[in-house]
């Protein structure tokens, strides 16, 4: 699943198109009406957690009418689609150059991706032996001559991006205190780390890697771990994610310590187990039972006597 750093890379792929106008739209998606994008200007892009937000819109003239674009409100199909600043809602006093925009939110599921000026090609044949190229969900052509292609993603219009930088692991404003508070609950730390309201942008790879780096067993309850251990875990979450993003921007592959490994770096047999909330999604978790000792209540909270 594309995690925070990957989605930021996707965002950078779209950067060269900011300011350009949409000239042609295609793709298999039924989640939005393709004609809603026609003639719109691609105005801005943001990443929050694992979501990419692209702003499309037009500019208002003095009469409060949109310039040269399709301004219809096309009965949005998504439940959370609430548009603001629609041309029809603007008053005649609207000043010139008032931006009218709405945001298209992309979530990339397990295998989603974005490409610029190229289509994805089949890497292997299907069961029948046919080589079938992946079907784009959305293709957007711009007046600069280039195009963006989106694969395997969900998309929906929304009024504004979800801005909560204090819970975005890649934001300088990420709130470590809030994260520490959440991790201290009597819940397995591997489940808290996947809570997007606190660790937005953290996914399964980051979770596995930082638990190993911090030598924390995924099923240890946050409430029985020493505060210093939880702080170390949070520091790893921040630095590992930032390093991954840096490597990604330099096209360097990520080196895994434990994720999908048979053995840990010390040569121990790695355990692979599906772990998740009782009624929630179970995610494959790799850990070393020797390097990452399971801490039970009363085990670790006692400081060593000298
Ligand atoms: Zn080990």
The tokens of 4 are what? 């925070």
What is the arithmetic mean of pLDDT over 252-260?
92
Q: How far is the CA of 190 from the centre of ligand 1 (A)?
A: 18
Question: Which residue would you say has higher pLDDT here, 34 or 248?
Answer: 34
Q: How far is the CA of 272 from the centre of ligand 1 (A)?
A: 13
The tokens of 50 are what? 């694992």
The residue behind tokens 């692209």 is 54
Residue 163, pLDDT score:
60
- Give the Cα separation of 299 and 288 in Å (integer): 18
Q: pTM (2 decimals)?
A: 0.66
Q: Is the pLDDT of residue 269 over 60?
A: yes
Question: Which residue would you say has higher pLDDT here, 4 or 147?
Answer: 147
Residue 123, pLDDT score:
79
Q: Identify the architecture of domain 165-287 in CATH.
A: Orthogonal Bundle (1.10)
Residue 99, pLDDT score:
53
Three-class SS of residue 10?
Answer: helix
Q: How far is the CA of 304 from the centre of ligand 1 (A)?
A: 23
Do residues 86 and 139 touch, judged by C-beta distance below 8 A? no
Cβ atoms within 10 Å, residue 234: 22
pLDDT over 90 percentage in the chain: 60
The tokens of 166 are what? 């204090």
Residue 298, pLDDT score:
62
Q: How far is the CA of 235 from the centre of ligand 1 (A)?
A: 21
Q: Which residues pair with 113 in a beta bridge?
A: 151
The tokens of 200 are what? 């937005």
Phi-psi domain of 19 (left: phi exceeds 0; alpha: psi -120 through 50; beta: other): left
Per-residue DSSP letters for 157-187?
Answer: EESS----GGGBTTSTT--HHHHHHHHTSSS
Distance of CA 206 to the CA centre of its chain: 12
Confidence of residue 181 (pLDDT cuts 50, 70, 90): very high
In the chain, domain spans: 4-158, 165-287
Q: Which residues are catalytic?
A: 2-3, 50, 283
Q: Is the pLDDT of residue 301 over 70?
A: no
Confidence of residue 159 (pLDDT cuts 50, 70, 90): confident
What CATH number should be reported for the domain whose range is 4-158? 3.20.190.10
What is the arithmetic mean of pLDDT over 264-279?
92
The alpha helices in 138-284, defined as continuous H runs, are 176-183, 189-192, 204-213, 227-249
Phi-psi domain of 84 (left: phi exceeds 0; alpha: psi -120 through 50; beta: other): beta
Crossing angle of the two packed helices 227-249 and 176-183, in degrees rounded to 10 = 120
Residue 59, pLDDT score:
58
Q: Is the pLDDT of residue 168 over 60?
A: yes
Q: How far is the CA of 199 from the centre of ligand 1 (A)?
A: 26
The alpha helices in 37-188, defined as continuous H runs, are 176-183
pLDDT in tens, 12-56: 999 999 999 999 999 999 999 999 999 999 999 999 888 999 999
Q: How far is the CA of 286 from the centre of ligand 1 (A)?
A: 11
Confidence of residue 122 (pLDDT cuts 50, 70, 90): confident
pLDDT in tens, 90-101: 333 334 444 568
Residue 139, pLDDT score:
97
């Amino acid at each position: 699943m594309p995690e925070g750093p990957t989605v930021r890379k996707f965002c950078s792929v779209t950067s060269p198109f900011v300011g350009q106008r949409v000239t042609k739209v295609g793709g298999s998606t039924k989640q939005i009406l393709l004609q809603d994008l026609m003639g719109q200007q691609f105005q801005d892009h943001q990443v929050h957690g694992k979501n990419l937000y692209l702003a499309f819109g037009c500019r208002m003239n003095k009469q409060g009418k949109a310039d040269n674009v399709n301004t219809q409100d096309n009965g949005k199909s998504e439940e959370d689609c609430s548009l603001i600043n629609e041309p029809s809602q603007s008053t005649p006093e609207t000043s010139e150059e008032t931006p009218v925009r709405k945001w298209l939110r992309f979530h990339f599921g397990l295998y989603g991706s974005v490409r610029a000026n190229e289509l994805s090609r089949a890497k292997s044949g299907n069961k029948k032996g046919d080589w079938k190229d992946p079907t784009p969900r959305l293709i957007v052509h711009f007046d600069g001559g280039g195009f963006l292609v989106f694969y395997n993603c969900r998309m929906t219009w929304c009024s504004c991006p979800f801005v909560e930088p204090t819970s975005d692991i890649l934001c300088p404003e990420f709130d470590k205190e809030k994260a520490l508070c959440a991790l201290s609950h009597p819940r397995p730390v591997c489940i808290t780390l996947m809570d997007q309201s606190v660790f937005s942008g953290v996914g399964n790879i980051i979770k596995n890697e930082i638990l190993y780096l911090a030598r924390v067993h995924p099923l240890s309850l946050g409430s029985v771990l020493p505060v210093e251990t939880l702080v170390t875990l949070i520091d790893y979450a921040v630095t590992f994610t930032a390093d991954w993003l840096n490597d990604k921007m330099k096209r360097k592959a990520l080196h895994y310590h434990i994720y999908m490994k048979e053995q840990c770096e010390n040569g121990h047999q790695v355990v692979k187990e599906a772990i998740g909330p009782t009624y929630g999604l179970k995610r494959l978790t790799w850990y070393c039972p020797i390097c990452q000792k399971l801490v039970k209540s009363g085990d670790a909270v006692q400081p060593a006597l000298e």
